Amino acid sequence: MQEHSDELATSAIGLSESSFPLAIANMTVNDASPVPIYEQICRAVRTAISAGDLPPGTPLPTSRELADALKVGRNTVVTAYSRLAAEGYLLTNKRRGTRVAEDTLGIMPLRREDRAAEARPAPEPQPAGALGQWAGARAIEISYRARDALEASEPDTAQMAPFALNTPDPSLYPRNPLSRLLAEEFCRSPGGGDLQFGMRKFQTAMAHYLRHMRGVDCEPAQIIPITGLESALDLTIRVMIDPGHTVYIEDPASDVVRHCLRSAGAQLVAVPSDSAGADISRVSGPPPRLIFVSPSANFPFGQQMSEPRRAAMLDAARNWNAAIFECDVLWELSYTGNRLRAMQGRDKSAPVFYFGSLNQTLGPHIRAGYLVVPAKLVDPFTSMAQRVSYGPEPFVLGALATFIEDTDYAVHARTIRGVYAERLKVLIEAVRQHIPDVTILEPSGGLHLSVLFNQKINERAVASAASERGLSVTPLSRFYLAGERRSAQSGIVLGFGTLPERMIDTMVKRLGEVIAEVREMKTESLVA
């Protein structure tokens, strides 16, 4: 839709390179920078708007004009404009083209003539009880649960940095076919006023897809559209978990899982994981209400759970009368290992909640996933999901259903799986070359690589020093239930979703220099 709008707007705007706004005419990009070019363009436009160099209503060149001026691909500029429009900085339409937004919901700064007023001293506070003054305003604080969740979250500034986790490559999103389908569904008039047609279409398409690709045994009504893992966990907790319930979680696991369950008041017990996946036989604790596992490719090791351990997990859950939450967000990005049937499809009687996501393959801007619930629990889960509004809009679900039914999604997933597999191969070779004395845990799937240090080294110091060099490196201990582990190996987790192959060797070499400096600092302290 963005590309079409830009083409129609070319004649309406009539901008040539010489008549670009000065802030745009002076824009430059750096091919050698680890920051993607589209993000460099976004930053330049945001900075110009903040400085007042691009006032509200300023027309911008079309994507083709700016791409020609910067000598970059047009899709790169389209991506930048789309992101800026989503953030509220820009507005686009067929008649007026692309312009700086008039109203940016609080992100637009004051104009130059208003800055003097901004710098004036604030008026003296009125005494308590005066008109418009609330005596308790100073005492307002967010909750402990909110503080805990916010402190555990990754800052947005790290999302596009080299080695950032959980960040797919934006250049691989299927924008053209999806934008067409989204536009068609958005403009479609629901027959008979049926506003849930798109959702039911998605449920039917996804049920067929999961039965065929993953061996999931389900009917369309069992599929609850959801936005992501955190929403799926929150929905499951609302229906299934009371404060004090015991929940087993594979260890290590995504910290999102740990924080969601702790916020609900659950008592967490670790299920140790190794190269064969989570091992339920190594757990000692009270019978659980729920067991969280990722059998296709666990996080952060990316290892696949073996068949014997899957069977043992189901037997243990049956003996304890416990439910299983099967997190399967990475199976479409599986590079090695067997294509094993989902645990949900192995035993019809087992209460298994099966969660999958399209975010890793279609991009987080779609924010669509699915939670398959046991047939006996369809009614309470559906009612709760509708009450809290967890899922995407029905027109989005309708477009995704068509994308899946036409086999475009399967083809797209296969294509990007090949791209990421090659990227992972290059990353492993670079780590072997530039970072000595480490153990590489080659994953069977996912967008991350775990690297263990063979010598004692402070992984948090490595992460901090890497951050100063513009690298987003995550300590391995962050994903363990017990936090910092004194006896186990330390390590780091590297994401490679947004790292182009041409930049991998340079970035790993830089990381190797950081690790060498941290090791040297440790040696000097021991000598001292």
Q: Which amino acid is at 269?
A: V
Residues paired with 324 in a beta bridge: 291, 352
Q: Which amino acid is at 216?
A: V
How long is the chain? 528
Q: How far apart are CA 160 and CA 154, in angstroms?
A: 12
- The pLDDT profile of the chain, 528 residues, written as one tens digit per residue, is 444 444 333 333 334 455 678 888 888 888 888 788 988 999 999 888 888 888 888 888 888 889 888 989 888 898 888 888 877 888 877 667 888 887 644 454 444 444 444 444 444 555 544 445 555 445 567 766 666 666 555 544 445 688 988 888 888 888 888 889 988 888 876 655 566 888 999 999 999 999 998 999 999 999 999 999 999 999 999 999 999 999 999 999 998 999 999 989 999 999 999 888 899 999 988 999 999 999 998 999 998 999 999 999 999 999 999 999 999 988 888 888 777 889 999 887 889 999 999 988 988 778 899 999 999 999 999 999 988 888 888 899 999 999 999 889 999 999 999 999 999 999 999 999 999 999 999 999 899 999 999 988 999 999 999 999 899 999 999 999 875 444 467 899 999 998 889 999 999 999 999 999 998 876 554 444
Contact 3, 78 (CB under 8 A): yes
> What pLDDT shows up at residue 348?
77
Domains of the chain, by residue range, sit at 2-100, 175-406, 416-527
Q: Answer whether 0.75 is exceeded by the pTM.
A: no
The order of strands in the sheet holding 474-475 is: 438-441, 448-453, 491-495, 474-475
> What pLDDT shows up at residue 511?
96
**Pairing relationship of beta strands 369-372 and 474-475 according to DSSP bridges:** unpaired
Domains 2-100 and 416-527 agree in fold: no
> What pLDDT shows up at residue 369?
93
> What pLDDT shows up at residue 145?
63
Using alpha carbons, select from 232, 215, 214, 234 the residue that is nearest to residue 224. 232
> What pLDDT shows up at residue 47?
86
| Tokens encoding 75 | 């899709």
Q: Where are the beta strands (DSSP E) in 369-499?
A: 369-372, 438-441, 448-453, 474-475, 491-495
DSSP SS3 for 273: strand
Using alpha carbons, select from 294, 257, 258 the residue that is nearest to residue 278. 294
> What pLDDT shows up at residue 1?
44
Q: How far apart are CA 322 and CA 307, in angstroms?
A: 20
> What pLDDT shows up at residue 191?
57
Residues paired with 273 in a beta bridge: 278
For residue 495, what are the contacts with CB-CB under 8 A and spacing of at least 6? 163, 164, 165, 166, 167, 447, 448, 472, 474
> What pLDDT shows up at residue 83?
84
Q: Where are the beta strands (DSSP E) in 234-281?
A: 246-251, 267-274, 277-278
Class of domain 2-100: mainly alpha
Query: 175-406: what fold?
Result: Aspartate Aminotransferase; domain 2 (3.40.640)
- The CATH number of domain 416-527, selected from 3.90.550.10, 3.40.47.10, 3.40.630.30, 3.90.1150.10: 3.90.1150.10
